[in-house]
Amino acid sequence: MTAKLIWPTVVVMSTTGNTSHCLRCGRTLRSSASITRGYGAWCRAKIRAAAIAEVVKGFTIQQAEKARDLIADAGLVPTSRPGVFRAVSSKGDATYLAHSATCNCPAGLRSRTACYHSLAVRIVMASVTA
């Protein structure tokens, strides 16, 4: 009698334990990766896009494109220091140490505003944390 009562309870518990709801839209999540993150793939992409749009604000389209190319070409390599990346120069003949706020490339040292290497770091950081 007791065993019969326990068994269905266990089944219900294991089912609810394997599904979750997206924290943004409330849709049922099925993939374990989505459940771990708390968002469905679509919402996660939206959140990431919003985070990147926020980061790119204040930069020119050219800077944003250069930053995107740098990331796409794997020209931004994490160093052992958190938040510090080694960035390959646009000509590929030099590398710089870039951080979200500073960079030791000629443009970064010359201007008060962040260069596109720093922007690339911000985009990477936004993608990781989103």
Report in angstroms how near the CB of residue 116 gets to Zn ion at its nearest. Answer: 7
Count, residues near Zn ion per rule CB under 5 A: 11
Is residue 105 involved in binding Zn ion (CB under 5 A)?
yes
Is residue 43 involved in binding Zn ion (CB under 5 A)?
yes
Is residue 45 involved in binding Zn ion (CB under 5 A)?
no
Q: Which stretch binds Zn ion (CB under 5 A): 21-29, 54-62, 66-74, 77-85?
A: 21-29
Is residue 24 involved in binding Zn ion (CB under 5 A)?
yes
Class of residue 24 by CB neighbours under 10 A (exposed 0-12, middle 13-18, buried 19+): middle
Is residue 49 involved in binding Zn ion (CB under 5 A)?
no
Q: Which of 57, 95, 58 is nearest to 78 (CA)?
A: 95
Report in angstroms how near the CB of residue 77 gets to Zn ion at its nearest. Answer: 14
What angle in degrees, to the nearest 10, is found between the helix axes of 61-72 and 116-129? 60
Is residue 50 involved in binding Zn ion (CB under 5 A)?
no
Rounded-to-integer distance, Cα 54 and Cα 38, Å: 22
**HEC profile for 74-103?**
CCEEECCCCCCEEEECCCCCCEEEECCCCE
Report in angstroms how near the CB of residue 53 gets to Zn ion at its nearest. Answer: 18
Report in angstroms how near the CB of residue 6 gets to Zn ion at its nearest. Answer: 34
| DSSP assigned state of 57 | T
Rounded-to-integer distance, Cα 128 and Cα 130, Å: 6
User: What does the binding site for Zn ion look like in residue numbers (CB under 5 A)?
Assistant: 22, 24-25, 27, 40, 43, 103, 105, 108, 115, 117
